[in-house]
Copies of this chain bind each other. A is one copy, B any other.
Amino acid sequence: MIPETIFNLIEDASHVVLATHIHPDGDALGSLFGLGDILEAQGKKVFRYLDEPVSHLYDFLPTIPFASTDLDAALQFAEQANAEKGKIVAIALDCGDAERLGEARDRLLSIEPFIVIDHHRGHRDFGDHLWLESECSSTGEMVYELALALGAKVSLDAAFCLYVAIVTDTGSFRYESTSPRTLRIAADLIEMGVKPNEVAESVYDNYTLARLRLMEKVLATLAVYGDGQIGLISVTEDMLERSGASSDDVEGFINYPRSLSSVQVAGFIKEVKKGTVSVSLRAKGKIDVAKIATGFGGGGHKNAAGFRFSGKSIEDVQALVLDALNQAIA
């Protein structure tokens, strides 16, 4: 349930600045563009702020041209709203931590009141008002609830954005977080005109040749350990360069080692910028990867977690990770 203070602030607002986390994924972008459209249909002025241009993976989302990476413009928009005696609110969507607002953090947070709508477990409180539903599959699901509460008209564009948000954050309704409510909201969105096959094609058939060239190289690194219970893959900057891929293109690769029937824990070791090595872990319930990630200064959920190192070689990281995973399955 949406907290009353937050509902009132949004309902009364004349101007809204929307923001989300850096390197925005489908839930971040779908929620932001979906809510932007819903609020504009209610006659509010909306500024859609993004830290970086929308990745080619999500270039099919409607209303992208209305977004801006111009932080000065976002702050001017807020100042002008105040000058016009409008009511301004800022809303950060799908952002589990102030750090994840990126370099714009302090300046964005200067807009008041600052509302946070998020579904991440382990959310670290920031801003003035928090609506957190850690049982929710996605922020997109929460935005839909908000739209219902506001009695807002949800256009086909907005419904499409929210469906993309839900689909991408549940892996097509495959993750544990998929609840009866998730599926019923998706059913509502289809009734509003969303075509599930069009969403699937946009999300899953939107790849570049470079991504498949990279996938081939990354699959070649696949190695299994511990009687097949551990599956590891890795990517290096050199592999990205040789295949012409970008660091976005590795999204979802961790599902390959994870898809092995014997694998209990999958790891993806990424050297996408010289000097930094990041690690994603995925488990199937037997091992708590959040614990392992926390041990390395990272975080996450029981079945999905990550962490990063500076100044270590990819080989050193691989050895450290394998050690920790071997201990975990022992």
Do A260 and B207 form a contact, CB below 8 Å, given A183-B187, A201-B284? yes
Instruction: Kindly report which residue of chain B lies nearest to residue A190, judged by CB atoms.
Output: B180
Query: A136-180 CB contact bits vs B (8 Å, 1 = yes)?
Result: 000000000000000000000000000000000001111110111
Do A174 and B176 form a contact, CB below 8 Å, given A190-B183, A216-B216, A216-B219? no
C-alpha gap A213/B216 in the complex (Å): 10
Question: How many residues on A have C-beta within 8 angstroms of the other chain's C-beta atoms?
Answer: 48
CB-defined contacts of A195 to chain B, threshold 8 Å: 176
Instruction: Kindly report which residue of chain B lies nearest to residue A220, judged by CB atoms.
Output: B216
CB-defined contacts of A178 to chain B, threshold 8 Å: 190, 196-197
Do A205 and B175 form a contact, CB below 8 Å, given A184-B183, A184-B187, A219-B216? no
C-alpha gap A181/B187 in the complex (Å): 7
Q: What are 30 A-B interface contacts by the 8 Å CB criterion? A: A172-B174, A173-B173, A173-B186, A173-B196, A174-B197, A175-B197, A175-B200, A176-B197, A180-B188, A180-B191, A182-B187, A183-B183, A183-B187, A184-B187, A187-B187, A201-B284, A205-B258, A205-B263, A206-B261, A207-B261, A208-B261, A209-B222, A209-B224, A209-B262, A212-B219, A212-B256, A212-B259, A212-B260, A215-B219, A216-B220
